Each structure stands twice: as structure tokens, then as C-alpha cells.
């Protein structure tokens, strides 16, 4: 009897060792008999290597997608701008002839204390930055700003706090027109408004000119080529509006 019990114990031990040493299949479960709810399938638990590999693939995919988006979103526009080489050239689109220093000297000579939210040097630099970016002649655009603001003395409907240097949106009779948060945005709106008249190409920067779309819708495929073409359009009646801007531009060159 005792021998039979001993044989049973040895058989049970061998069976237990076999169970423990046998590798679990994919459907095997880890189970605690004391806690009925604690049951987990090995199939749902990926290995550490698999988890690391999956994480790296997700990161790599997201990174490439972001880089691709940035490339598309920030892709610059390439366009040719004819070089302006003659002071008799009356085109709106072109490159500057006058230097920034000449523009500053001309302003301060006519108004030593311009009513601006930035220095004379800064406002001129904004015109050259924004104008050159869009292919609009910055020196002549600056001359237009001087004409519109009376050398930044104002005195009409527009006030200096508007940062509106070209009379955008003002029609007289107390209508102040558009307000811009910063001087640079005011300059950008001015340049974009000139681009709206002179080209069908959209600005390279987000549009801040509230009247840009109105001009483009009205003109369609038509454009204005010269500053004199702004006569009666930018200013009304503005019979010699463009000629007066070009005259001021030529005065800048002799500073």
C-alpha cells in the first residue's frame, strides 16, 4: 500500500515537472486560482522587441509626415522681377533705385519729427523688406506713403495709431479706413494692395490687405502696369496722382 502511494506521488511530481517545463502555447493563460478575474491571454501581450519596433515606426512615420508638410507649406514662390535701371521707368513692379539712406534723409529733411510708431529707419526698412519680397518697387511705394500721409504728419481722417500709410479704406468725410496692429503689417497691406492692382500673382505672405480680394475680383485677368495707371483708381479724382508720386521718388534720388 505504501509502495502504491509512493508511486502515485512520484508520478504526480513528474507530471507537474512536465507541465512547468512545457512552453506555453499562444492560447495558454496565466491564472491565479484565488482571483477569478485575473486572467490574461499571452496572445495580447507583445514582446518588448515588438513594442519598441512598433513605437519607432510610429515616430518615424509622424516625423516624415511633419517634415513633408513643412516643405509643402513653406515652399517659396519663385517669380522673376525685372530690374529697374532707369529713373524714367514708371513700372510698379521692379527693383529699387534709391537707397534706404536716401529715403530716410528725404523724409527727415521734409519732416524732422514724423508721427510714427517706429523710427524713420525702421519704416523705410519695412518698405524695402515687404516691397522686395513681392516685387514691388519699395522706393516708389515709400514715396506714395509720404504723399498719402503728408510726410507722416497726417492731419486728415487717418490717424497715426492706424498704421495705415496709404489711405486704405478711407473715403473722406471722417471715414478713417483700416487699422493695422503693427507698422510692418501696415506696410505689408500697402504693398499687397499695389500687387493686387499690378499682378494676378498672389502675395507670398498671408493677405492682410482687407481690400485685396475686391481689387482682384474687379480686375480679373487685367492689371495696371505703371504708377500713372493709378490715377482716378487709387485716388479720386487723382488726375496726376501717379505723376506726383514719381516726382517725389526723383526727389529722393538727389538726397
Residues 6+ apart with CB under 8 A from 110: 146, 151
Q: Residues 193, 168: contact at Cβ < 8 Å?
A: yes
The answer for residues whose C-beta is within 8 angstroms of residue 130's C-beta and 6 or more apart is 136, 138, 184, 187, 188, 190, 191
- Report d(CA 168, CA 154) in Å as an integer: 14
CA distance 124 to 99: 10
pLDDT interval class at 53 (50, 70, 90):
low
- Residue 48: pLDDT band (50, 70, 90) is low
Q: Coil, helix or strand for 41?
A: strand
Count CB atoms within 10 A of the CB of residue 211: 16
- List, for residues 54-106, the tens digit of each pLDDT value: 655 554 433 333 333 233 334 456 789 999 999 999 999 999 999 999 999 99
* Burial class (CB within 10 angstroms; exposed 0-12, middle 13-18, buried 19+) of 150: middle
Band the pLDDT of 52: cuts 50, 70, 90: low
DSSP summary character for residue 235: B
Every domain of the chain and the residues it spans: 100-253
The predicted pLDDT at position 35 comes to 39
Location of C-alpha cell 481722417: 157
Instruction: Give the C-alpha distances (Å, rounded to integers) separating 146 from 43, 111, 158, 183, 251.
Output: 77, 10, 13, 14, 12
For the segment 96-130, what is each residue's pLDDT rounded down to a tens digit?
A: 999 999 999 999 999 999 999 999 999 999 999 99
pTM metric for this prediction: 0.71
Report residue 129 as a C-alpha cell: 523688406
* Better-predicted residue by pLDDT, 75 or 229: 229
**Does CATH number 1.10.1040.10 belong to domain 100-253?**
no
DSSP class of residue 165 equals: S
Cell of 35: 482571483
Amino acid at each position: 500500500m505504501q509502495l502504491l502511494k509512493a508511486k502515485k506521488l512520484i508520478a504526480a511530481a513528474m507530471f507537474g515537472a512536465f507541465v512547468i517545463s512545457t512552453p506555453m502555447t499562444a492560447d495558454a493563460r496565466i491564472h491565479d486560482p484565488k482571483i477569478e478575474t485575473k486572467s490574461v491571454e499571452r496572445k495580447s501581450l507583445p514582446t518588448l522587441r515588438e513594442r519598441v519596433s512598433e513605437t519607432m515606426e510610429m515616430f518615424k512615420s509622424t516625423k516624415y509626415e511633419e517634415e513633408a508638410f513643412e516643405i509643402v507649406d513653406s515652399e517659396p514662390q519663385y517669380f522673376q522681377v525685372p530690374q529697374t535701371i532707369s529713373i524714367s521707368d514708371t513700372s510698379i513692379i521692379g527693383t529699387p533705385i534709391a537707397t534706404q539712406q536716401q529715403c530716410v534723409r528725404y523724409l527727415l529733411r521734409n519732416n524732422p519729427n514724423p508721427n510714427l510708431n517706429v523710427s524713420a529707419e525702421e519704416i523705410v526698412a519695412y518698405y524695402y523688406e515687404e516691397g522686395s519680397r513681392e516685387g514691388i518697387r519699395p522706393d516708389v511705394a515709400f514715396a506714395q506713403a509720404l504723399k498719402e500721409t503728408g510726410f507722416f504728419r497726417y492731419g486728415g481722417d487717418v490717424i497715426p495709431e492706424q498704421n495705415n500709410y496709404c489711405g486704405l479704406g478711407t473715403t473722406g468725410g471722417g471715414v478713417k479706413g483700416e487699422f493695422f496692429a503693427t507698422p510692418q503689417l501696415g506696410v505689408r497691406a500697402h504693398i499687397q494692395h499695389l500687387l493686387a492692382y499690378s499682378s494676378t500673382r498672389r502675395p507670398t505672405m498671408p493677405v492682410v490687405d482687407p481690400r485685396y480680394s475686391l481689387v482682384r475680383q474687379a480686375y480679373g485677368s487685367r492689371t495696371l502696369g505703371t504708377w500713372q495707371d493709378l490715377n482716378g483708381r487709387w485716388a479720386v479724382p487723382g488726375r496726376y496722382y501717379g505723376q506726383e508720386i514719381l516726382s517725389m521718388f526723383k526727389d529722393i534720388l538727389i538726397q
